[in-house]
Chain A
């Protein structure tokens, strides 16, 4: 990743955070607009989950990451801490690859 891309990301990310505190002041946004903004992350995070699990470049594959995700899902469902969840996923994939 180039430094230019990194700085663009920093500038864009800051603009999103600062829009409210710097421009809005005491005015309020319509509730449905605020709700929509809050929902924006949901489809993207779901997309990241499936792409990072099943894609290698432009191919869809089933490898050690899929069972690792299943283990992570159980951790999230049991309300395990973040670190436990990601380490359990890593350990699952590492073990399966080692066994293969």
Chain B
């Protein structure tokens, strides 16, 4: 159907995200969440980077406020996406409230890639819904299997930095992003010996003050 040219990519992204959801489920249970909590997080929080950040901090022995803080700071980019999608997501308050939950990296990127406003809307929902279904299915399967695995023996702890690096790489194309990444990493390393787990990541947000001044 040429009337919905975005559908194959939306489904493809959904399938890839399902596998990603599987790794989230495994790591969430390994970090000490119950399978029910892992599934609830994927349904209710539904933004991969923040979810990985939260369980990463918890797994490293960080406090709940540090986990929620670093996850929410990572979620700030969704606010940017929501603001840029506001003109695409019109309709009743109820529809906009539902659509808001689907505002994530992939749905926004797919909508922005369309030339036609109707296609932008269609691509946003097709991608968002495909990801929502498969991300949650993947989390469920991963959380069920995850309890059986010894995290260190299978190198599951090494999956966290690899996952964050894979999320970071496409973001580095923005202007001044490489410098910000370097400053953020240096701040975090400097804070590790002095602050409890989780806080070094929150402290890295200080790097943004430099971006504010130098814009």
A residues apposed to B, CB below 8 Å: 1-10, 12-14, 16-22, 24-26, 28-29, 32, 34-60, 64-65, 68-69, 72-73, 75-76, 81-83, 85-95, 97
Interface 1/0 per residue, B38-62 and A, CB below 8 Å? 0011001111011011111010110
B182 within 8 A of A: yes
A13 contacts B45, CB within 8 Å? yes
Cβ of B177 under 8 Å from chain A: yes
Please give the distance in Å from A41's CB to the nearest CB on chain B: 4
B50: contacting residue among A9, A39, A68, CB under 8 A: A9
Known pairs A10-B45, A68-B155, A72-B158; list 11 more (Cβ under 8 Å). A3-B40, A13-B71, A16-B76, A36-B208, A37-B79, A37-B83, A46-B180, A46-B185, A47-B200, A48-B160, A75-B166
Q: Give the chain B neighbours of A86 by CB distance below 8 A.
A: 23, 159, 162-163, 166
Which of B101, B172, B177, B197 touches A14 (beta carbons < 8 Å)?
Answer: B101
Among the listed B73, B153, B161, B193, which residue makes an inter-chain contact with A49, where contact means beta carbons less than 8 Å apart?
B161
The reply to whether A21 and B89 contact each other, CB–CB distance below 8 Å, is yes
Determine how close the nearest CB of chain B comes to the CB of A87; give it in whole angstroms: 8
Q: Kindly provide the distance from the CB of A63 to the nearest chain B CB, expressed in whole angstroms.
A: 9
Taking residues whose C-beta sits less than 8 angstroms from the other chain, chain B's interface range is: 35 or more
B60, A51: Cβ atoms closer than 8 Å: yes
Smallest CB separation, B100 vs chain A (Å): 4
Residues of A within 8 A of B155 (CB): 64, 68, 89-95, 97
Residues of B within 8 A of A (CB): 16, 19-20, 23, 32-33, 37, 40-41, 44-47, 49-50, 52-56, 58, 60-61, 64-65, 67-68, 70-87, 89, 93, 96-97, 99-101, 103-104, 152-169, 171-172, 174-177, 180-185, 187-189, 192-197, 200-201, 203-208, 211-212, 215
Contact A45 B168 (CB under 8 A): yes
Instruction: Kindly state the separation between the CA atoms of A22 and B95 in the bound complex, as whole angstroms.
Output: 10
B174 to chain A: which residues have CB within 8 Å?
A: 35, 38-39, 42
Contact A43–B187 (Cβ < 8 Å): yes
Find out whether the CB atom of A44 lies under 8 angstroms from the CB atom of B182.
no
Q: Enumerate chain A residues within 8 angstroms of B103, measured Cβ to Cβ.
A: 17-18, 20-21
Given known contacts A21-B96, A43-B204, A44-B53, A72 and B76 CB-to-CB distance under 8 angstroms? no
Residue of A nearest to B96 (CB): A21
A97 CB to nearest B CB, Å? 7
Closest B residue by C-beta to A67:
B158
- Contact A68 to B171, CB < 8 A, known contacts A8-B68, A34-B80, A37-B76: no
CB pair A46–B184 under 8 Å, yes or no, is yes
